[in-house]
Every structure is written in structure tokens, then in C-alpha cells.
Amino acid sequence: MTRFVTLEVTDGVGTIRLDRPKMNALDIAMQDQLREVADEAAARTDVRAVVIYGGERVFAAGADIKEMQAMSYTDMVARGGALQDAFTAVARIPKPVVAAITGYALGGGCELALCADIRIAGDNAKLGQPEILLGLIPGAGGTQRLPRLVGPSKAKDLIFTGRMVDAEEALRIGLVDQVVPAEEVYQAALAWAGKLAAGPAWALRAAKESIDRGLESDLDTGLAIEKAHFAGLFATEDRTTGMRSFVEEGPGKAKFA
């Protein structure tokens, strides 16, 4: 089978690379490979942070519409769970994840970017959820993750109209976190991921799960999740290393294994 999604690891950073010419259209094969690679990145101990990258020209222009056009209602009932599971596998990677966005990130491409913890966009980026223009709605998490990120009103504007936003507007509404020249996107993402790859892996994992699970819960449940993770970190070498370094050397000098 042709590989459209791969994982490359260097210095603790795993790059999930999308490579299906010309536009990284997310067909069924690519969705399944995305889930496999996300699970691999989650399990590998040599991967401490992750970059999702579609290449210099495009992040991912959406689903494979020709493939979807041939699908019936029952086909999509059978497939819809696997589609969402592939994206959820990315969102649940228990390590810091950054999306490095160049060019188009539309439909499923935008939904994939929403699964990251941070989004760094090139100044040539175009993002949006144009499914409404096909008589559809986002089906890989867009109706849920987008309003949680930018708020319900802005999410409804994008989803109801199907319009694209450029990098400047995406930054203004909180859809992306940083905009850099297009040729610097991948290096900027690597720098962010590399800094965190050297951090306390168990504490970062606990922080990510506390935030993500807390956002899905009421405040009391979120506080209970935080309390459990906070106490649990006292059983880790991360906590021992960090506190010892603080006492002996001062803040910010700990070197985590």
C-alpha cells in the first residue's frame, strides 16, 4: 500500500508528514494511515513532541470529494466512526502537538489542525470549513472543536458560510496561534516542539489531559481531574528532578530524562 502519512523522528520530535499529491486530499486510505501513525507517535518513548506538516505548498485541502461523492448514506454510517476516530487519535496523542500550516487547510485539513495543541501558520495560509457548500457539515470534529477554540459565534460564521479566512484573520480570531513567513513554518514548529521535547514528559502529559478532559467536563469534574494528576506527578522522576534542581540550582535549570 502506498504510504501517504509517515512518522519521522529526530531529537525527540516526531513529524507526522502528509504527502498525497497534489493537495493532500484526505481519502479513506490516508485517514486510516493517520490513525496508525498517531497511535505510533503516542506509544513511542523516543517521541516527546509532535509536528503535523503537509509540506511547503499545502497542509491539507480537505477530504477526497470524488471518493465521497460515490458513497451512500449507509456507506457513511459505516465509515463515519472511523473518520472521527482517526482525528481523535491525533487529538489524544499524550504529548505536545503543533500543526505547521502552509497553504490550504480546509475541511478535513482544518479539522486536523484543530486536533493540535498549537497552530503555527504561514502568511500564505487559508483555513476554513467549506462543507456547507457541498450540502454537508464538518464530520471529523469541526462542529465540536472549532467552537471550543474560537467560540460559538465565530464558529457558526465559518461553518454556516463556508468561507475561508487568511492567516491574519485566523490569528485575530484565535484559530491559529502564530503567523510566520511561509518558508519558516516548519522550522518554527520544530523549534516549539523541540523546546517541549526537552521538558518533563509526564508533567506535560498530565497538563494536556487535565486541560483537554477538563474542557469536556463541568468545573467540579475538571478540578477532580487536575487534583488526581497533580498528586500522581509526585510519584514520577520528573517531579523529583524538577524540585531537586530548583532547590539546588534555582528555577528553570532542570534537565529531564
Residues known to be catalytic: 63, 108, 111, 131
Residue 63 CA to residue 66 CA, distance in Å, equals: 9
Residue type, 17: R
Rounded CA Rg of the chain: 19
Whether 50 and 10 have beta carbons less than 8 Å apart is answered as no
Minimal CA–CA distance to 99: which of 145, 58, 53?
53
- Give the ranges where the chain is alpha helix by DSSP (H): 28-43, 65-69, 73-91, 108-114, 142-150, 152-161, 167-173, 185-197, 201-215, 219-232, 237-249
The three-class DSSP label of residue 10 is strand
Given a contact cutoff of 8 angstroms between Cβ atoms, the answer to whether 120 and 188 are in contact is yes
Closest CA to 8 of 47, 54, 57: 47
246 to 67, 75, 197, 239, 251: CA distances (angstroms): 56, 57, 20, 11, 5
